[in-house]
Structure 1
Amino acid sequence: MKKLLLTMLSTAFISLLSLSAQADDFALGVVSEAKLLNDFSVFETNFEAFSVSEQEQELIAQWPKTLKIDIYFATWCHDSEREVPKLLKLLKANKHINARLIALDYQKADPQHLAINNNIKYTPTIIIYRDETKKEELGRIIERPNKSLVQDITQLLL
């Protein structure tokens, strides 16, 4: 009985925190790029400030058209504010790549439980898949790339 009560209280507490995050104008769950850039000025500012070199554009254009990218991030996270706008701008060089933005709360959770199902512990976590089936995860970039987003993703594709 105590376990059940504790579980119920924990669930209620997490739900309240999620609602609190929404009330504080945090994004939560799957969001569009347009909504992220329109509603969160720091993401839009960093997106506009970042430039993609011709060499990077050429590399990205060669990435497979079937590539799927899940981007787990938080609008309250400084690493996300830095890396997510860069990745979104980079992906403009290959319109075929499908990227999904999943905004998380302070507990690294989302309403669809996508983060929990994918063992997300840090933001941002960028998961690269070979194709839409998401059966073959090529790798992850967690918090920040080792070299650069383009170099790290290109290395995963080799």
Structure 2
Amino acid sequence: MKQIIIAFTILYIPILSSAQTLNHEITNDEETPFLLGKIDKKGLEGEHYKTWFSANYNAYDPNTNTIKILKEKGLNNYNILLFLGTWCGDSKKEVPRLFKVLEDSNFRMDQLTVIALSRKRNMYKQSPEHYEAGLNIHRVPTAIFYKDGKEVNRIVEHPIDSYEKDIENIITKNTYKPNYQIVSEINDILKNEGLNGLQKKTKKLLKRYDGKVSSMFELNTYGRILYGIGEIEEALTVFRLNTKLFSDQPRTYMSLANTLGISGNKDKAIKTLTKAIKLHPDNQDLIENLNRIKSN
């Protein structure tokens, strides 16, 4: 796994600099259109996106003192890689604000690369060119800041304070800690120590993060991403950890059981749901899930 990540890192610059279709839109009669692949501001100002983009862009008023600092401290020494989903509520809210901050800071917009990801189940939070591969993109929007070709920091899903204040931290003292720290730590373990390393450190992770994770969706979404890129055992390990952190949440057991089931581990899926029903005997979703897996 580590070798794969390194390979993607090496290929990062030529992939993004190669010619690609810009502002490609996916449309059909059954769902709302969305952009996919490399896009720019013109794409976000298109017919199906301009309402939310323009409204949130115009409504945001960045702190002028902080904007001045961004200009003085060399924001233009950085490149930014932004992942978003034009179907995503957080992207609709946050991405226009980020554009406003960057433009008010006189950031060179040719140093911003924007990638729109898919909402489709078989390509969830992926792009056709797989710009996101190896970059741990589990939430959108995610803005990654690079300097001299290396990642310096990132803002995940939404700022801790505001975009201008978070960026100020990143380009000055860089003590910034983005959202979803447990996901960052698990991803680092997988990159550096592999699946065995994660399995060995599960108890330590449980102890460190017990009561400190905002919701079961932090790891649930990350597990879905791992499964989507074919890292099945890694996903199952993450889902198992989630059932321990959130044993009071029936959905954690269903995510684990369903992944076990579609991965050919029907007996383990049944065992997982049976255990969950003992903990939550009145939960009809668990009972229906168990019956469905037994009947398949």
Is TM > 0.5 for Structure 1 vs Structure 2? yes
Matches within 5 A, 1:57-96: 57-64=67-74, 65-92=76-103, 93-96=105-108
Aligned residues of 2:66 and 2:168 also touching (Cα < 8 A): no
CA distance in 1, matches of 2:170, 2:64: 21
Aligned partner (choices 82, 102, 113) of residue 115 of structure 2 = 102
CA distance in 2, matches of 1:56, 1:81: 23
Bigger strand share: 1
User: Where does structure 2 lack aligned partners over 5 or more consecutive residues?
Assistant: 1-24, 174-296
Q: In the alignment, residue 116 of structure 1 is paired with which amino acid? A: A
Counterpart in the other structure of 1:130: 147
Counterpart in the other structure of 2:54: 44
1:60 is paired with a residue whose SS is helix
Counterpart in the other structure of 1:149: 163
Cα gap change, 1:63 to 1:94, in 2 (>3 Å) = farther
CA distance in 2, matches of 1:112, 1:149: 28
Give the superposition deviation at 1:154: 1.5
Q: In the alignment, residue 107 of structure 2 is paired with which amino acid? A: K
Counterpart in the other structure of 1:139: 153
Counterpart in the other structure of 1:29: 37
Q: In the alignment, residue 35 of structure 1 is paired with which amino acid? A: G
Which one scores higher on RCO, CA 8 angstroms, separation ≥ 6?
1
Bigger mean CA offset, 79-88 vs 46-55: 46-55
TM-score by length of 1: 0.78
Bigger mean CA offset, 43-52 vs 76-85: 43-52
Bigger mean CA offset, 117-126 vs 57-66: 57-66
Query: Per-residue displacement from partner, 1:113-153 (whole Å, max 9, x unpaired)?
Result: 0112322111111101114xx3x111111111111111212
TM-score by length of 2: 0.43
Aligned residues of 1:38 and 1:44 also touching (Cα < 8 A): no
Query: Per-residue displacement from partner, 1:64-107 (whole Å, max 9, x unpaired)?
Result: 22211111000111111111000000011223352111100120
Q: In the alignment, residue 108 of structure 2 is paired with which amino acid? A: H
Give the superposition deviation at 1:61: 1.1
Give the superposition deviation at 1:54: 1.7
Give the superposition deviation at 1:56: 2.6
The number of residue pairs the alignment matches comes to 135
User: Where does structure 1 lack aligned partners over 5 or more consecutive residues?
Assistant: 1-20
RMSD: 1.7
Q: In the alignment, residue 139 of structure 2 is paired with which amino acid? A: Y
CA distance in 1, matches of 2:128, 2:52: 24
Query: Which protein has the larger Cα radius of gyration, Structure 1 or Structure 2?
Result: 2
